[in-house]
Structure 1
Amino acid sequence: MNTKYIDLVNQTFDFPQPEFKLENKTLEFHDVNLMQLVEQYGAPLKFTYLPQISNNINRAKQWFADAIKKNNYKGKYNYCYCTKSSHFKHVLDEALKNDIHIETSSAFDIDIVERLKAEGKITDQTFVISNGFKRAQYVTNIARLINNGHKNAIPIIDNYEEIDLLSAEVKGKFNVGIRIASEEDPKFEFYTSRLGIGYKNIVPFYKNQIQNNEKVELKMLHFFINTGIRDNAYYWNELAKCLKVYTSLKKICPSLDSLNIGGGFPIKNSLVFDFDYTYMVDEIVNQIKLVCEEEDVDVPNIFTEFGSFTVGESGGAIYEILYQKQQNDREKWNMINSSFITTLPDTWAINKRFIMLPINRWNDSYERVLLGGLTCDSDDYYNSEQHINAIYLPKYNKEKPLYIGFFNTGAYQETIGGFGGLQHCLIPSPKHILIDKNAEGNITTTLFSEQQKSEDLLKILGYNQATQPNSDSTKEASELTEILNN
């Protein structure tokens, strides 16, 4: 009878998979021995497998190169990394090894760009696409970047005032893009995105503020929908409307030469994940070409802004099962030694699912469980994966520690969780490990950050040494007490 956890996996999924395999009865992720990682650094811990960032960038670049060749497409393709997915220096350093460009979202992003320029990792030829609603500091920083010679900086206009705000601070001529305020998915609570300018208003906006403005040149139209790139009627309908705007604008604006289709490539969230990236890229390129040919305009250069796709599949988190609580005759709670709310906030905030697998004990029998975090919050749990209605893990045994891993968690979790800051119920942030390969192809690990300590959190809360009595004050108080007692 097949009662081992490995039997369950083999019956349910195609396993092993390119990034997952068993070696000596324990799980490996991209040939990284995860139990050795636990033995060296302990758990809970988070890790970033840096080579996967370059792997995904080059996969996407190849898909677009193949589609451009197949369709005899005359425009170029530019891969931009959406920095808000993960601003960490080790992420940007790895991504920028691959001849890519940058998309920014706020004022401090520009400070990061300037640091990277100073290190020679970004040049004036690197496109810096600046999205978002631009407050005063963001405008000032973009203007500084342009004024210092970065001519490939392209602020994407989000509202009607930004042309004037930028013109007041940029010295000389500068390029801009316009973001389309796309119509949202019918399931959304509102009809039109708050970001950008409405479809019907873009051509009038160009005529009123840009066409006769000698200081401003329109180079890019920006299109993105929140649900991302999906093979469904909604996506193709919105892309068609975007292309209609592009061709209308191109006929009256010769300088317009680029179409930014944003980000939104999905990442692997289960062992049965199936997304035909090659088909989607080919069809997007084909649709752009067909519409431009029908309207007799030149095809645009294509830009993408992949964030989660770039960094998501590089990340993981490992926890130990501390204890099992049987709360009734059906529900068994396996308690992890951390918190889902603080370390994987998307599982709590938007019910996001990640790949979850045990690290060890694959040859043990299994049971159905729920997973609970350490906070005093009823929402601190994880009860299902994308592809099944329950979680099955090797049976709890207090004599045999069980470790579990969550994979492809590399995008957004640290920034949303507030890396280095306060955590719900003061549960400390775990250690974070960077995993790389050296010139010989051997795995290397580096400790990026230690687990938070009590004093780290107390300092943020104001309980620092400056608020505590010093030794002299303590001595004076003791002397006074002695005098009063006598």
Structure 2
Amino acid sequence: MRNKYKDLINQTFYFPQEEFKLTDDDELMFHDIDVSALIEEHGTPLKITYLPKISENIQKAKNWFASAFEKHNYQGKYFYSYCTKSSHFKHVLDEALENNIHIETSSAFDINIVNALLETGKINKDTFVICNGFKREQYVSNIADLINNKHKNCIPIIDNYEELSLLEEEINSSFNVGIRIASEEEPKFEFYTSRLGIGYKNIVPFYKKQIEENPKVNLKMLHFFINTGIKDNAYYWNELHKCLKVYVALKKICPTLDSLNIGGGFPIKSSLGFEYDYEYMVDEIVYQINTVCEDAKVEVPNIFTEFGSFTVGESGANFYKVLYQKQQNDRELWNMIDSSFITTLPDSWAINKRFIMLPINRWNESYERVLLGGLTCDSDDYYNSEQHSNAIYLPTYHPDKPLYIGFFNTGAYQESIGGFGGLQHCLIPQPKQLIIQKSKDGKLTTTVFREKQSYQEFLNILGYEK
């Protein structure tokens, strides 16, 4: 009778997969990492960042675009940019920047990180710094300082009509800008148009009024961002073609315009049944841009992408221990973990974000359907079938047999949204964090990035200890 947990997975998904396989003892391996050994040494809750996955995804994207450019004889260049807001950690940026990429910023303090990277030689003045977001006074000043210090490849993206004059006041020389399109949102949204950027119909008039005859400002880039990411659906292709119409119209009157930023990232794997043809999507995007420009008899743009979650998301994983099981009625079994979803995986409760969830051990035992509960006293601190790709099944709970579970591809946004190093809901501490690297000979090395948060840290923040 095939009623073991590993039988369930084998009957439901193709398994093993690229990043997941089992040891001879039927315990889970993640990117060839012996997770049980990590847990035995460091305990739970535990957070890891597997840095090689960052470089792997960057190189995959570069190769997809290179292949599409060659296939369609595309005459522009491709620039991969990393959205720093996905994860600002130094070890993440250091790994990403090893791949000759560029960066996209969102706020004033991002520019301070840029300056730190310049000082250490991680980037140079040839690195494009694309400045997105609504620009308050400090952000404008920091951008101006960067450009005034001869970083000509800093491109502020104009989000509203007033930003251009604010930048002009503080920048001493001529400078390049981009314009962000306020794209229309998917029909399921509560509003029709993004709050960010300038409307399709207003971009050409804005250019003619404030940029065309302005000797100080060069329009370099048109920025196109879709909130829901790059997807093969009618909505995405329709918005892309509307964007290309604007690009063509601008290019015919603006010779300095030479770049199109197709912001809005690729999705990442959220279940073992995840399917997405990245290579096809890149090929089709390049084909559509090439065709529209050829038909209009204008030069094709350089293509910029801004990938945040795609860059870093699949490098992260969180591990927990099932502490206890509570049966609250005749149908619901609650497995309580030794941490909190609200504090360590905030997207799981805030936006019902789906992550891959798998047990680490006991794959060769029977399974049961459960709900997962966090330690806080908040009723929203749970993970169930609404966040998961389907009902949650785990090896049957037994008080004398420890059960460990992992949430995978958690590397983007969770620390920044959860408030890394700060107060946590119900004062549940943040987990210990590890950085895992791979040497040139393929050996994995593990470094403790941060120990588990202590009560003294909380007391200091709250003003009880000085």
TM over 0.5: yes
What residue identity is the alignment partner of 2:97?
L
Equivalent residues in 2 for 1:52-451, closer than 5 Å = 52-384=53-385, 388-451=389-452
Measured in 2, the distance between the counterparts of 1:194 and 1:8 equals 45
Structure 2 partner of 1:46: 47
SS at match of 2:98: helix
SS at match of 1:90: helix
How far the C-alpha of 1:389 sits from its partner, in A, is: 3.1
How many residues were matched structurally?
A: 465
Worse-matched range after superposition: 22-31 or 311-320: 22-31
How far the C-alpha of 1:384 sits from its partner, in A, is: 1.9
Note the residue ranges of structure 1 that are not aligned, 5 or more in a row.
467-486
Note the residue ranges of structure 2 that are not aligned, 5 or more in a row.
none
Q: Deviations over 1:129-156 (max 9, x none)?
A: 0000000000000000011110000000
Point out the structure with max Rg over C-alpha: 1
How far the C-alpha of 1:265 sits from its partner, in A, is: 0.3
How far the C-alpha of 1:439 sits from its partner, in A, is: 2.4
How far the C-alpha of 1:25 sits from its partner, in A, is: 1.4
Please give the TM-score of this superposition, normalised by the length of structure 1: 0.95
SS at match of 1:223: strand
Structure 2 partner of 1:460: 461
Measured in 1, the distance between the counterparts of 2:172 and 2:37 equals 56
Measured in 2, the distance between the counterparts of 1:317 and 1:163 equals 43
How far the C-alpha of 1:386 sits from its partner, in A, is: 6.4
Measured in 2, the distance between the counterparts of 1:345 and 1:437 equals 29
Worse-matched range after superposition: 382-391 or 109-118: 382-391
SS at match of 2:169: helix
Measured in 1, the distance between the counterparts of 2:132 and 2:16 equals 40
Measured in 2, the distance between the counterparts of 1:36 and 1:143 equals 50
Contact 1:106 1:134 in 2 (8 A): yes
Q: Deviations over 1:43-62 (max 9, x none)?
A: 00100000000000000000
Q: Deviations over 1:147-183 (max 9, x none)?
A: 1110000000001111111111111110000000001
How far the C-alpha of 1:263 sits from its partner, in A, is: 2.8
SS at match of 2:181: strand
What residue identity is the alignment partner of 2:18?
P
Contact 1:324 1:396 in 2 (8 A): yes
Worse-matched range after superposition: 380-389 or 68-77: 380-389
Q: Deviations over 1:234-256 (max 9, x none)?
A: 00000000000000000000000
Contact 1:356 1:385 in 2 (8 A): no
Structure 2 partner of 1:482: none
Given the superposition, is the C-alpha separation of residues 116 and 331 from structure 1 closer, same or farther in structure 2, using an over 3 Å criterion? same
What residue identity is the alignment partner of 1:16?
P
How far the C-alpha of 1:11 sits from its partner, in A, is: 0.6
How far the C-alpha of 1:294 sits from its partner, in A, is: 1.1
SS at match of 2:410: coil
Measured in 2, the distance between the counterparts of 1:311 and 1:387 equals 21
Structure 2 partner of 1:11: 11
Contact 1:182 1:225 in 2 (8 A): yes
SS at match of 1:58: helix
What residue identity is the alignment partner of 1:262?
G
SS at match of 2:225: coil
Q: Deviations over 1:373-422 (max 9, x none)?
A: 00001110001276743111001111110000000000000000000000
Contact 1:269 1:386 in 2 (8 A): no
How far the C-alpha of 1:440 sits from its partner, in A, is: 1.6
Measured in 2, the distance between the counterparts of 1:337 and 1:304 equals 39
Measured in 2, the distance between the counterparts of 1:13 and 1:279 equals 23
Contact 1:184 1:193 in 2 (8 A): yes
Q: Deviations over 1:307-356 (max 9, x none)?
A: 00000000000000000001111100000000001100000000011000
Contact 1:371 1:381 in 2 (8 A): yes
SS at match of 1:347: helix
How far the C-alpha of 1:31 sits from its partner, in A, is: 0.3
What residue identity is the alignment partner of 1:342?
T
Structure 2 partner of 1:20: 20
What residue identity is the alignment partner of 1:438?
S
Measured in 1, the distance between the counterparts of 2:321 and 2:40 equals 12
Measured in 2, the distance between the counterparts of 1:248 and 1:105 equals 28
SS at match of 2:449: strand
Given the superposition, is the C-alpha separation of residues 12 and 385 from structure 1 closer, same or farther in structure 2, using an over 3 Å criterion? farther
Measured in 2, the distance between the counterparts of 1:339 and 1:280 equals 37
SS at match of 1:98: coil
SS at match of 2:68: helix
What residue identity is the alignment partner of 2:14?
D
Contact 1:376 1:425 in 2 (8 A): yes
Contact 1:157 1:176 in 2 (8 A): yes
What residue identity is the alignment partner of 1:347?
S
Contact 1:270 1:385 in 2 (8 A): no
Please give the TM-score of this superposition, normalised by the length of structure 2: 0.99
Contact 2:348 2:387 in 1 (8 A): no
Measured in 2, the distance between the counterparts of 1:125 and 1:264 equals 24
Measured in 1, the distance between the counterparts of 2:63 and 2:231 equals 19
Q: Deviations over 1:240-294 (max 9, x none)?
A: 0000000000000000000000132000000010000011000000000111111
Measured in 1, the distance between the counterparts of 2:263 and 2:27 equals 39
